[in-house]
Amino acid sequence: MSGTGLPGPAWLPAAGQARGAGALRAALRLRRTRIGLALLALLTALAVLGPHVAPHSPAAFIARPDSGPSALAPLGTDYLGQDVLSRFLSGGGAILATAFAAALGGVIAGVALGLIAAYARGALDALVMRILDVILAFPPIMLALVAVATTGPSTWILITAVAITTAPRVARVTRGAAQPVVVRDFVAAAEALGLPRWRIVISEVLPSTLGPVLVEATLRLTYAIGLIASLAFLGLAANPNGANWGTMIQQNQTALAVQPWGVVLPITAIALLTIGTGLIGDGIARAFAGLDRGREPG
């Protein structure tokens, strides 16, 4: 510009905020994200606080089986004569905790594998992806069923099995998102400076893949909740007679015609929970898509 004068500061845009955080804030401004978060918060609160406000012990037999609402049992009793309301209030914790743990483990492992595969390229990439293909050849619920077939369900087996089905799917998405990033020149610029590989992966590649990874993470949480609940519904909860929404639905399904509450309450809770996480994921996806659109200069 050879001294012809700098452009005045007037055209300078307002100093930006960190891009990832900016997108999350944009996501929070979307109505669907807010509804999703509200649902998730509501049901988490229900699962956490529920056991403390339940009128009865979830395992106490308080009236005749499948009796209708009464003063003692406001929503009636289940097929064994236990209080439906108390079992409902106590039944969310097991599903939520197990699903959160499984999704978290799977996402962490998957992100690490996906980033390594994308950055290494070549033989290591191929090897990692082939191994993941083997796990992907199992429908998600199958792996868990096979894992519990011999020894029966325990919380740790359930978490591990669901995490193992989650990781390859997250790894694929992460790798897909990282592949266009690792060939960009800012990664080459870091390589030319001699930055160690792991630091390039973490500080240069990972931030640019955050959008798809977060979206996938919420999607996987949704599916983990569904899987854990489905397993309980199939009679494969860690505690076969414990209070658990999935177990409740299974046990009370036969008495639907006379006592619907035992099914309707937990099924509504699970539906709202998965709808909530789904809405959050969609909100994040939209916000990041908007961020990427905004990157093209107008």
Kindly identify the residues of this chain, within the stretch 24-53, that bind other proteins according to CB under 8 A.
32
User: Which of residues 48 and 183 has its CB atom nearest to other proteins in the complex?
Assistant: 183
The answer to the question of residue 235 lying near other proteins (CB under 8 A) is yes
Q: Name which of 39, 226, 202 is nearest 141 in CA terms.
A: 226
User: Which of residues 109 and 234 has its CB atom nearest to other proteins in the complex?
Assistant: 234
The interface region with other proteins, picked from 51-59, 84-92, 109-117, 233-241 by CB under 8 A, is 233-241
The answer to the question of residue 263 lying near other proteins (CB under 8 A) is yes
CB 33 within 8 A of CB 27: yes
Please report how close the Cβ of residue 147 comes to other proteins at its closest, in angstroms. Answer: 5
User: Which of residues 18 and 45 has its CB atom nearest to other proteins in the complex?
Assistant: 18
Please report how close the Cβ of residue 288 comes to other proteins at its closest, in angstroms. Answer: 12
CA 143 – CA 83 distance, rounded (Å): 34
Among 279, 284, 287, 288, binds other proteins (CB under 8 A): 279
User: Which of residues 54 and 178 has its CB atom nearest to other proteins in the complex?
Assistant: 178
CA 84 – CA 180 distance, rounded (Å): 53
Residues touching other proteins, count (CB under 8 A): 87
Please report how close the Cβ of residue 60 comes to other proteins at its closest, in angstroms. Answer: 26
Please report how close the Cβ of residue 295 comes to other proteins at its closest, in angstroms. Answer: 4
The answer to the question of residue 145 lying near other proteins (CB under 8 A) is yes
Please report how close the Cβ of residue 296 comes to other proteins at its closest, in angstroms. Answer: 5
CA 45 – CA 192 distance, rounded (Å): 50
